[in-house]
Amino acid sequence: MSSTTRDPDRFAALTAEVGICFGGDYNPEQWPRATWREDVELMRRAGVNLVTVGVFSWAMIEPTPGAREFAWLDEVLGLLHGAGIAVDLATPTASPPPWLGVRHPETLPTDRDGVRLVPGSRNQFTPASRVYREHALAITRDLAVRYARHPAVRMWHVGNEYGQLDYGDEAAGEFRRWLRERYGTIDALNEAWGTSFWSQRYADFDEILPPRRMPYIVNPSQAVDFRRYSSDQLRDCYRQLRDAIREAGATAPITTNFMGFFPHADYRTWAGDVDVIADDQYPDPASPTSPADIALVQDLMRSLGDGRPWLLMEQSVSATSWRGHNLPKSPARARADSLQAVARGADGICFFQWRQSRAGAERFHSAMVPHAGSDTEVFRGVVRQGADLARLRPVVGARVQAQAAVVFDWPSWWAADEPALPTDRLDTVAEVTRWYRALWRRGIAADIVAGGTDVTDYPLVLVPHAYLIEPDAAAALAAASEAGAQVVIGPFSGVADANGHIRTGRSPVLLRELIGASGEEWCALPDVDLDMPGVAGATASTLGERLRSDGAEVRARHASGPLSGLPAITRQGHGPGAAWYLGAVVDDGVLDAVIGEAAAGVAGALPGVSVLPDGVEAVRRGDALFLLNHGGQTVQVPVPPGLLDLLTGEVTNSVAAIGPDDVRVLIERQDR
């Protein structure tokens, strides 16, 4: 079946009508009817305007094979509609009823060790299973036919957090089909997988298996292809159900919830299939870097939607329950988290979940209505958030202008995540996150882009760790630097091609001309000192490179360890632009110094301030300047005078005193 293409106007039409969406997952099937009425009353009090219904309702709707119990859902949708609350109606397909797995064990997923997973939790399906697909499609069709034109249903939510890996027999067959399509001939596959190594040569596609448990290290090209296949297979599940919903006549936006930098789905290949990018975000309140780190995820989500507004589909209002040790959020912190997402382009703020579950695995996961009820700090905080979001209507639809591009690709992450590298301590997402913090401190928003994207419009381009680089990606970086950008490239970049084969010659082969330096050996590093003028106590660790300058200026040298005396950081000017190369994993201070210098000409969100006070975040979205204080102390932030704070109605003088976890949303005063 052909795919429909993304239509972002569908979500824009909803927010134009209701303003910023506000609500959460609503699971009425866990509660008696009397509670439903109280729920709706409390939702109105909190200003909730969108709830996701039915995510885990398959066993309620189809208690026995082929049954359809829709009456309760009719009632719930009617109640919500009567209260003016829109519904994001979910296909219940993430969690099949136990009977499906018991009657059709082939629908159950099999792990790498050949263990078949059983019902009793959730997600117990394999996306490759024909029988699962048939059942999921049948219930989705019936749901869609029944509710496509229901006035409460303003959005569709397919599945939930698609993310399974499956190594079973049916998956093996699907993997082979996918490989046939990708390679055409077994010779092409043998070439791409480098099967001359260790006698792995295949005579026929039928001999190929998923990378199940093996005696020793898996062929890395095979492993990365299995990741590509798994992401595509899950996306195909999504597409099939999405198409069924459209065919039933639904006109509302259709989406599914992403999970940030999730390893089992390349969301860049999914982004064109959802009408609105929706994401689940659970920053850990225990981590001091959470605000910056989640900002990166939010910039990624905005970028996946080409800068259009996105939807924060799930977050926790206080503690999660799936961490080992689950710190709560204060209501102020929860509010700041929500407003941060709006600052970075979200036009919808939702939670998991509306009412805290009394039973089941998530009985200690916080919710908008906690066990203790509505006479609680949590619920009062929710009411306050609803009121605040209503005040932010002027930002609906507005875009965030990013001044930097950060290059990140899932396949490169996957390839760099395989074992048997010089070090297993270099993680792509951890590096991207660390580099991004230097932008965050400066109020510089970033677009997170694929290698090969035209980045000539950005004054600053960061490539923290692009293990795989193709010629188009190398050319795009060279073009940006020629156009005047500061391009900063991190260690162990440009190592391999799309199949994971090492590019031979002095490294990084496709980038060495751009950076004016080249290397001949990558080395795992102990903690070493660097000699870097202007940065006291500079160090590197994890990985370095036996590097020489081929004309680039050397900005730092190894001062101890196996590469002592050799260049560690170089800079090659290209007219007004430049290409920096970090030939080692440098410490946070060095990274901040390099990115700070490269960003010197880039205006951050707060005029005249290059480095923001500790804990302060500044983002410009459309006409609005968002200032958030994630630190523990009140900070004095210089601001343009005469701006209106949309949250308080106050007008700024030239300094804003912002308390811990407080937020300002400042806008030129005009009749709005």
Q: Give contact residues for ligand GLA (rule: CB under 6 A).
A: 160-161, 280, 282, 314, 316, 320, 322, 352, 362, 365
Nearer to ligand GLA, 161 or 166 (CB): 161
- Closest separation in Å from C-beta 121 to ligand GLA: 11
The residue from 62, 161, 174, 545 that is catalytic is 161
Preceding omega of 353 cis (within 30 degrees of 0): yes
CA-to-CA distance for 385 and 349, rounded, in angstroms?
Answer: 10
CA-to-CA distance for 292 and 279, rounded, in angstroms?
Answer: 17
Residue 613 CB neighbour total at 10 angstroms:
17
Is residue 256 classed as helix, strand or coil in its secondary structure? Answer: coil
- Closest separation in Å from C-beta 162 to ligand GLA: 10
HSE-up of residue 420 (Cα within 13 Å, Cβ side):
8
- Closest separation in Å from C-beta 160 to ligand GLA: 5
- Closest separation in Å from C-beta 238 to ligand GLA: 15
Nearer to ligand GLA, 366 or 541 (CB): 366
- Closest separation in Å from C-beta 280 to ligand GLA: 4
Nearer to ligand GLA, 176 or 365 (CB): 365
- Is 235:256 a contact under the CB 8 Å cutoff? no
- One-letter amino acid at 192 equals A
Is residue 452 classed as helix, strand or coil in its secondary structure? Answer: coil
CA distances from 29 to 53, 59, 101, 193 (A): 9, 10, 22, 49
Nearer to ligand GLA, 111 or 362 (CB): 362
Nearer to ligand GLA, 197 or 322 (CB): 322
- Closest separation in Å from C-beta 343 to ligand GLA: 22
- Closest separation in Å from C-beta 25 to ligand GLA: 6
CA-to-CA distance for 618 and 629, rounded, in angstroms?
Answer: 9
CA-to-CA distance for 52 and 89, rounded, in angstroms?
Answer: 6
- Closest separation in Å from C-beta 353 to ligand GLA: 7
Nearer to ligand GLA, 263 or 452 (CB): 263
Residue 93 CB neighbour total at 10 angstroms:
25
CA-to-CA distance for 231 and 226, rounded, in angstroms?
Answer: 9
CA-to-CA distance for 86 and 161, rounded, in angstroms?
Answer: 21
- Is 380:42 a contact under the CB 8 Å cutoff? no
Q: Which helix (H) or strand (E) holds 551?
A: none
The residue from 170, 174, 314, 431 that is catalytic is 314
Is residue 548 classed as helix, strand or coil in its secondary structure? Answer: strand
CA-to-CA distance for 555 and 546, rounded, in angstroms?
Answer: 15
Q: Which of 96, 16, 1, 7 minimizes the C-alpha distance to 49?
A: 16
21 bridge partner residues? 348
HSE-up of residue 341 (Cα within 13 Å, Cβ side):
33
Nearer to ligand GLA, 148 or 234 (CB): 234
Q: In the annotation, is 418 catalytic?
A: no
Q: In the annotation, is 161 catalytic?
A: yes
CA distances from 343 to 141, 219, 274, 312, 385 (A): 37, 43, 22, 12, 14
Nearer to ligand GLA, 160 or 230 (CB): 160
Question: Which DSSP letter does residue 4 get?
Answer: P
Q: Which two tokens stand for residue 455?
A: 């980045």
Q: Give the residue numbers annotated as catalytic, written as ranges.
A: 161, 314
